[in-house]
Amino acid sequence: MVFHPTKLLLLYAKISPLLFLMPPCATQLLFNYSDFSGTNAKNIVLTGNATFLGPFIQLTPDAPDNWGRATYLETMRLWNEETEDLVSFTTTFSFIISSEGKANYSDGLTFFLASPGFPSPKPTDGAGLGLVSRIQLGDWKLLAQNKFVAVEFDTFRNDAWDPPAPVREPVVININSIRFQKSTAWYTKTKEDRTYSATISYNSSTQILNVTFTGFNSDNTPMQQHLSSRVNLRQTLPALVEFGFSSSTGLISELHVLCSWSFESGLQKSARPYKNEAEGSMRKLVAGLILAGCILINGSGSFVF
């Protein structure tokens, strides 16, 4: 099929009014919470022990056997079943992890993407950072039905699955298992009330999940640390995922607080060619128009912030 430019314009003219009537578009997400006070919080879902605390979200208090999650109300589209499109995203967030002076503390915070309706950790324990319990970690059926990819800011070493000693506090990329896949030592000051910031990005063309985060030198000056891993999200996770943060405490505890969160994602066309050229260009056109629709819808200022 060949498109004549004027026909194309006509087609666009016919479709574009409809684009404004379409339901909110799920292929692009964009938000920026510099705090979570008041109406800002309406698109965040809290579960477990998580609560709003002034401008922040307290994922867990500094008390044993707590867990909490904060997820975005809408799911994110990671990939398209009919095309080769795959998501690219960038998210930046800041958080406080503090044992408030205690020498023994646990367990940490994750940013995660997971199957929608991901189950609660049961029975509650600190092991899986508010995502899965120790028992669920051994439940292959549950894990087969509920996929996750998590970036873990882990403050307690579990000998059974965390990176070996002497690394006590690692940053870990987990893929469908809390057993570490890729990790690095994290230079934290967990006993003190420090604020950390992290940026996690995923590039659909390189398929690299890239994590940049704050660490502290021994002289207390902040430094930037990095961790990255190649992961094909199309093979790892369902097309739609819920996403956000989780934390837990166990026998020992620490405070977990989320201070800010910005997020931006969009489906990118794959570099791989379509099998059916004509069908491909039609799909590309439609995808392009839908994308234009999204930008227009959200460009009209109707989104949060």
Ligand X SMILES: *[C@@H]1O[C@H](CO)[C@@H](O)[C@H](O)[C@H]1NC(C)=O
Query: Rule CB under 6 A: which residues touch ligand X?
Result: 24, 28-32, 34, 49, 61, 63, 66, 88, 92, 103-104, 203, 205-206, 208, 210, 212, 226, 228, 262, 297-298, 302-303
Q: From residue 26, give the alpha-carbon distance in Å to each of 46, 90, 195.
A: 21, 16, 32
Distance CA 305, CA 302 (A): 8
Smaller CB distance to ligand X: residue 134 or 282? 134
Task: Please state the closest distance from residue 294 (CB atom) to ligand X, in A.
Answer: 7
Length of the chain: 305
Q: To 5 degrees, how large is the angle CA 189–CA 213–CA 48?
A: 75
Q: What is the DSSP letter of 143?
A: H
CA distance 201 to 277: 31
Q: In this complex, which beta carbon is closest to ligand X, that of residue 29 or of residue 171?
A: 29
**Closest CB to ligand X among residues 3, 305:** 305
CB atoms within 10 A of CB 244: 26
Shortest separation between residue 10's beta carbon and ligand X, angstroms: 27
Minimal distance, residue 135 CB to ligand X, in Å: 17
Shortest Å distance, C-beta 1 to ligand X = 30
Q: Tokens in use for 65?
A: 């056997």
The nearest distance, CB 140 to ligand X, in angstroms, is 27
Say if residues 237 and 149 touch (Cβ distance below 8 Å).
yes
Q: Which is nearer to ligand X, 66 or 136 (CB)?
A: 66
In the bound state with ligand X, the residue whose beta carbon lies nearer, of 195 and 210, is 210
